[in-house]
Amino acid sequence: MSALSYQVGGGHYVKYPIQPNHFVAANNWDAFAQNIFKYVIRWRDKNGLLDLEKSLHYARQRIELDMEEYHPHRDRRKGISMVEFISVNQIPDDLHGVLLALERWVIAGKSTKFRTEFVSALEAYIAMIRREIYPEDSLFPQD
């Protein structure tokens, strides 16, 4: 089944013949523009005014991060490694593998190997969290 044919947590995106994520990917929009777009598109179907306020917040962040003067940790044009992000933000140990796998996939581009490694790492992480939240279900294998 195509990931574009269903939605986790509602139906406010899959109802569109051209889904917001498809539009964003086709036009190479940045993450801030993607979030602005997503919240503006879904506000009537999901969280109302809160979604519009979130879109404005992302717009303000996008403006600030585009400003030459705004570099709280370093020059953003040089990038920030995932290792530095994990360290500075004190990300819990259990997420390191997932985040590092994501970085390898993003850097590698269309690499089946790294895509598969990331998806496997994320699926394993979700299964682990699911077992922690729902220990009574851990007797049954997860698909």
What pLDDT, on a 0 to 100 scale, did the predictor assign at position 85? 84
What pLDDT, on a 0 to 100 scale, did the predictor assign at position 49? 92
Q: What is the pLDDT of residues 20-49, one digit of tens each?
A: 888 888 888 889 889 998 998 899 899 989
> CA-to-CA distance for 78 and 82, rounded, in angstroms?
13
* Higher pLDDT among residues 78 and 99, named by residue: 99
Q: What is the pLDDT of residues 87-131, one digit of tens each?
A: 988 999 999 999 899 899 888 888 889 999 999 999 999 899 889
pLDDT exceeds 60 at position 71: no
What pLDDT, on a 0 to 100 scale, did the predictor assign at position 138? 59
> What does the block give as tokens for 17?
């013949």
Q: Model confidence at 53, in pLDDT bands (50, 70, 90)?
A: very high
pTM: 0.65
Q: Model confidence at 68, in pLDDT bands (50, 70, 90)?
A: very low
Give yes or no for a contact between 117 and 101, defined as CB atoms under 8 angstroms apart: yes
> CA-to-CA distance for 26 and 80, rounded, in angstroms?
26
